[in-house]
A and B are shown apart, each in its own frame.
Chain A
């Protein structure tokens, strides 16, 4: 196996009594698009800053390209960062911003101009070289920040919620472009985000952070289809989480479980037809939310456990009504047994 691009070994970082990062270990493979997903304050950004060298771990060690980063300042690390606020130098033109990393490492003027233009064309910003950052739109600034970080062709590109400030349409467009750029350049991306849809759609693998710890690491499919903790089940997508005391109809033993709303069926009580491999429970519809492409029913079972069931709106003929008696069905293999997370 080749050397991982980034390795965390039991890394901890605390600020006063707050454990921002607590015993985190993972490895990012070379060329991988790796996301760190979690709510704010979960430690994902601190981990990114540790890789960049803006923070030093209090315990454990990190390696970039196999080299121990202890005591190595940011300017001697082969990683570059796209900052959340872009951090473009306001007193420099776009071209000077992009060429900055080359200028301070002594690349001659003609060469750095050429490479800066190259990087700018890569992010489709030709013609804006002489503008100041203040004269650009949010989306353009984002692209300049990206070009500036890519111009040195780092081993690892760190992205700290880079699309957070953009509106929805632009964000979706940039997601596609970023992914394409990463595939084209083959650079390892470490991507911090709190948007689970973004992490699922872009990443090769993702790590879910909560309270300074990694709850689960895996491919988007593995994490979504098989959440291991209540936190992951609730944060990545939507889940019905049933605690151990009420889970006996789903699983043997008193274990908390999760099941996705779209993996369940809901039928009016009078047209029950048994289906192979499905289990069933009776309940009453207590709320209906129409979502356009689907409808979400809240069904309260006889023992007061409330479940959400999402049904695609193929046609509206079979719609149920509030207070209607219904039966909920699910497959045993869609029930996930949860272990205790850190929350």
Chain B
């Protein structure tokens, strides 16, 4: 403008002009701080850790020997460790399937059967647990699952203690009480990660135009057929997106198996134990590669199904 040209431009104006002429410089200035932070603090540490998985521990001194070896990976594939990986992956898969089955009706109800006010209530009711304290919510289940806790009391009131005992007597999934069994652990995982499944499914369902459902029933499909042939395929990317969270989060958790569960380790606990008390950083590093690899495969598959559009 004429007024701006007449007076000597201020420093801010000169800087602004310079950045207008060099948009790339502006972009670099914007990107540098976050990328430097994440690049150095996060990626730097991550790669340092992964690099250590190629080192090994000296059996006599207990110190890390810093030369390239695959012996730590050989150790990772020992039967005991493979058991840990399989156990964790199975638990993650079971939790994911259960969360999808339980989350879908809630998401469907939210997306299709509520008015704006009720939808907001539902949305908050799902989001509050998602954001509220993870530890507090785990703790709540310790209260519920304890031998003298509410579930035991509930079964006793119904004179069904024999049923609970029968379930706990089952091999593998049972245990001395719910709070030290896989059933208990499964319930806690399901409870903690369920909101992560509901929200993406709800988002995917919201995007299905109601006219599709009308069209389906107009063409003679009864509600079950509409659900199977129209709604489910369109909601599937949302389910996959939700499963990324439930699966990944279960895979890496070490606190829930520590508080609710038996002495048999999960991947997260193995990492924790090896880096902590055992001081075997290379093996801990190799163990943390496992969820990364599993998630990389999972994400590639999910991307092909279009799950990222539903996030």
A and B: partners? yes
Assess whether A105 is in contact with B5, with CB atoms less than 8 Å apart: no
Pick the residue among B3, B5, B16, B21 that contacts A71 (CB under 8 A): B21
Question: By the criterion of a CB under 8 Å from any partner CB, how many residues of chain B are at the interface?
Answer: 9
Flag whether A76 is at the interface (Cβ < 8 A).
yes
Q: Is A334 an interface residue (CB 8 A)?
A: no
Which chain B residues lie closer than 8 Å to A152 at the CB level?
1
Is B16 a contact of A78 with CB atoms below 8 Å?
A: no
- The winner among B2, B5, B16, B20 for most chain A CB atoms within 10 A is B20
Q: Is the CB of B21 within 8 A of A76?
A: no
Of residues 57 through 110 on chain A, the ones whose CB sits less than 8 Å from some CB of chain B are 71, 73, 75-78, 105-106
Q: Are A76 and B3 in contact (CB-based, < 8 A)?
A: no
Is A105 a contact of B17 with CB atoms below 8 Å? Answer: no
Cβ proximity bits A135-179 to B, threshold 8 Å, 1 near / 0 not: 000000000000000001000000000000000000000000000
Number of interface residues of A (CB under 8 A): 9
CA distance A71 to B14 in the complex (A): 12
Q: Which A residues touch B4, using CB under 8 A? A: 75-76, 105
Q: Residue A73 contacts which of B2, B3, B20 (CB distance < 8 angstroms)?
A: B20
**Complex CA distance for A131 and B1, rounded to whole angstroms:** 29
Q: State in angstroms the CA–CA spacing of A73 and B1 once bound together.
A: 10
Interface residues of B in 93-127 (CB under 8 A from A): none
The residues of A that contact B1 with a CB separation of less than 8 Å are 75-78, 105, 152
Task: Note all chain A residues with C-beta closer than 8 A to B20.
Answer: 71, 73
Complex interface residues of chain B between 149 and 176 (CB less than 8 A to chain A):
none
The CA of A105 and the CA of B13, in the complex, are separated in Å by: 12
- Is the beta-carbon distance between B21 and A78 smaller than 8 angstroms? no
Interface positions of B from 239 to 268, Cβ below 8 Å from A? none
Kindly report which residue of chain B lies nearest to residue A101, judged by CB atoms. B1
The one of A73, A77, A78, A106 in contact with B17, judged by C-beta atoms closer than 8 angstroms, is A73
CB–CB B3/A105 < 8 A: yes
The distance in angstroms between the C-alpha atoms of A224 and B70, with both chains bound, is 79
Chain A residues whose C-beta falls within 8 Å of the C-beta of B21 in the assembled complex: 71, 73
**A77 CA to B16 CA in the complex, in Å?**
14
* Least distance between A342 CB and chain B CB atoms (Å): 30
Q: Roughly how many angstroms separate A75 CA and B10 CA in the complex, as a whole number?
A: 14
Closest to B5 in A: A76
Docked pose: A105 CA to B4 CA in angstroms: 8
Min CB gap A306→B, angstroms: 39
**When chains A and B are docked, how far (Å) is the Cα of A298 from the Cα of B5?**
62
Proximity bits, B52-74, A CB within 8 Å = 1, else 0: 00000000000000000000000
Residue of B nearest to A71 (CB): B21
Which residues of chain B (4-49) have a CB below 8 Å from chain A?
4-5, 16-17, 20-21
How far, in angstroms, from A76 to B4 measured CA to CA in the complex? 7
CB-CB nearest in chain B for A152: B1
A13 vs chain B, min Cβ distance (A): 14
Among residues of A, the one whose C-beta sits closest to the C-beta of B17 is A73
Whole-angstrom CA separation of A73 from B14 in the bound complex: 11
- Chain A residues within 8 Å of B16, by CB: 73, 75
Q: Which residues from chain A contact B3 at a C-beta distance below 8 Å? A: 105-106
Assembled-state Cα–Cα distance A77/B1 (Å): 6
Residue in chain B with minimal CB distance to A154: B1
Q: How far is the CB of B95 from chain A (nearest CB, A)?
A: 43
Chain B residues contacting A105 (CB-CB under 8 Å) are: 1, 3-4
Chain B residues with CB under 8 Å of A76's CB are 1, 4-5, 17
Determine how close the nearest CB of chain B comes to the CB of A204; give it in whole angstroms.
26
**A77–B2 CA distance with the chains assembled, in angstroms:** 8
Find chain A residues with CB under 8 A from B17 CB.
73, 76
Complex-state Cα separation, A78 to B1, whole angstroms: 6
CA distance A105 to B10 in the complex (A): 12
Nearest chain B residue, comparing its CB with the CB of A53: B20
| Nearest-neighbor residue (CB-CB) of B19 within chain A | A73
Per the bound structure, the CA–CA distance linking A67 and B98 in Å amounts to: 69
Assembly CA distance A92 to B20 (angstroms): 26
Which chain B residue has the least Cβ–Cβ distance from A67? B5
CA distance in complex: A76, B5 (Å): 8
**A71 partner residues in chain B, CB cutoff 8 A:** 20-21
Bound-complex Cα distance A339 to B5 (A): 46
A201–chain B nearest beta-carbon distance, Å: 33
The smallest C-beta distance from A24 to any residue of chain B, in angstroms, reads: 22
Minimal Cβ-Cβ distance residue in A for B21: A71
Q: How far is the CB of B55 from chain A (nearest CB, A)?
A: 46
Tell me the bound Cα distance from A76 to B16 in angstroms: 11
Query: Which B residues lie within 8 Å of A73 (CB)?
Result: 16-17, 20-21
Most buried by B among A75, A78, A106: A75
Among A77, A105, A152, find the residue whose CB has the most chain B CB atoms closer than 10 A. A105
Give the complex CA separation of A71 and B3 in angstroms: 18
How far is B5's CA from A73's CA once the two chains are assembled, in angstroms?
A: 12
Complex alpha-carbon distance, A77 and B5, angstroms: 10
* Nearest CB of chain B from residue A145's CB, rounded to whole Å: 19
Contact code string A310-327 (vs B, CB < 8 Å = 1, else 0):
000000000000000000
- Shortest C-beta distance, A65 to chain B (Å), equals 10
Neighbouring A residues of B5 by C-beta, 8 Å? 76
Q: How far in angstroms is the closest Cβ of chain A from B134?
A: 36
B20 nearest in chain A by CB position: A73
Q: How far is the CB of A133 from the nearest CB of chain B, in Å?
A: 24
A86 to chain B, nearest CB (A): 22
21 example contacts (A-B, Cβ-Cβ < 8 A) are as follows A71-B20, A71-B21, A73-B16, A73-B17, A73-B20, A73-B21, A75-B1, A75-B4, A75-B16, A76-B1, A76-B4, A76-B5, A76-B17, A77-B1, A78-B1, A78-B2, A105-B1, A105-B3, A105-B4, A106-B3, A152-B1
Extra contacts besides A73-B17, A76-B5 (8): CB < 8 Å: A71-B21, A73-B16, A73-B21, A75-B16, A76-B17, A77-B1, A105-B1, A152-B1
- Which 4 A/B pairs are nearest by Cβ-Cβ distance? A73-B20, A71-B21, A105-B3, A73-B17
Residue positions of A touching B, CB distance < 8 A? 71, 73, 75-78, 105-106, 152
